[in-house]
Amino acid sequence: MSAIKVFKEAAFAENSVWKQVLGICSALAVSNLIKNSLVMGIGVMFALALSSLTVSLIRNFIPRRVRMIAQTLIIASWVIMIDLFLKAFMPEVSKELGPYVGLIITNCILMGRLEAFAAKNTPYLSFVDGLGAGFGYTFVLLIIAFFRELFGFGTVFGLQVLGSWWTPWSIMVMAPSAFFMLALLFWYIQNKYYLK
C-alpha cells in the first residue's frame, strides 16, 4: 500500500469523526474559535502520529494481555510532551484549551487507530496513517469552528469580517450549537457521499 493512499484513506474515506463517530468530545469542546481548533488539531495529529510510530515499533514485543495499558501509557507520554510544549510556547492558548489537551489521552480516535492500524503495520505506514487520521480530525474541527466563530463573533481567525451591523448569535458561542453544527455536517456528508 502506498503512503499517499494510506493518508487519504485515514483522512477522508475512513475519517474517524464522521465515519466512526469517535473523538466527538474534544471536537465539540474546542471548536468555538478557529485558533483553538487549529492548535488542538495539530496537537492530536502529532500525538497520534508519534504514538502510532512508537506502538508500531514495539508491536511485536508487547504481550497481548497488557497491550491496552501499554498503548495508553505511550499516548500519555506523548501528550505530556505536547502539553509542556504548549505551556512553554503558547501559554494563552494552553490556558484556553484547559484540560482538553490532557484529554487527548482518552480521545477514542487515538486508541482506535492504534488498535486498527498501528498494531498490525510497519512503522512508516503507521506514522502516515496517524498523520492522516489527525488531519481528518483537524479538518472537521476547522469546518465547525469556521461557522461558529463567524456567526458567534463575526470574525474569522480573529479578524473582523462582518461589520458592526452584525449582531453576534450568542447561541453559537454556547454548547448546544456545537451539537447542531456537528449534526448538520454529518447530515451533509451522509447525503453527499454515502447515500447514493
Partner 1 sequence: MEINSFIIFLAAIFTSNILLSNFLGMCSFLSVSKEIESSFGLGMAVFFVTTLTTILNYFVYHYVLVPLDIIYLQYIIFIIVIAATVQMTEMIVERFSPALYYTLGIFLPLITVNCAIFGVSLFMVIRNYNFLQTVGYGAGSGLGWLVAIMALAGIRQRIREKMVPAGLRGAGLTLIITGIMALAFIGFSGTVIIQ
Q: Give the residues lining the site for partner 1 (CB under 8 A).
A: 21-26, 28-29, 68-69, 72-73, 76-77, 79-80, 83-84, 98-99, 102-103, 105-108, 111, 174-180, 182-183, 186-188, 190-191, 194-195
Q: Determine the Cα–Cα distance for residues 112 and 195; give it in Å rounded to an integer.
A: 25
Between the alpha carbon of residue 30 and those of residues 16, 60, 129, 175, the distances in Å are 17, 36, 23, 10
Strand stretches in the chain, DSSP E: 155-156, 159-160
3-state SS, residue 123: helix
Tell me if 182 sits within 8 A of 192, measured CB to CB.
Answer: no
Closest approach of partner 1 to the CB of residue 69, in Å: 6
- The cell numbers describing 160, all together, are 473582523
* Residue 17 or 128 having the CB closest to partner 1: 17
Looking at the Cβ atoms of 13 and 175, the one nearer to partner 1 is 175
- Shortest distance, position 124 Cβ to partner 1, whole Å: 27
Q: Measuring CA to CA, how many Å separate 32 from each of 95, 146, 184?
A: 15, 8, 16
For the bound state, the minimum distance from the C-beta of residue 117 to partner 1, rounded and expressed in Å, comes to 17
What minimum distance in Å lies between the beta carbon of 163 and partner 1? 29
Q: Which is nearer to partner 1, 125 or 177 (CB)?
A: 177
> Which residue number, 125 or 149, has a Cβ lying nearer to partner 1?
149
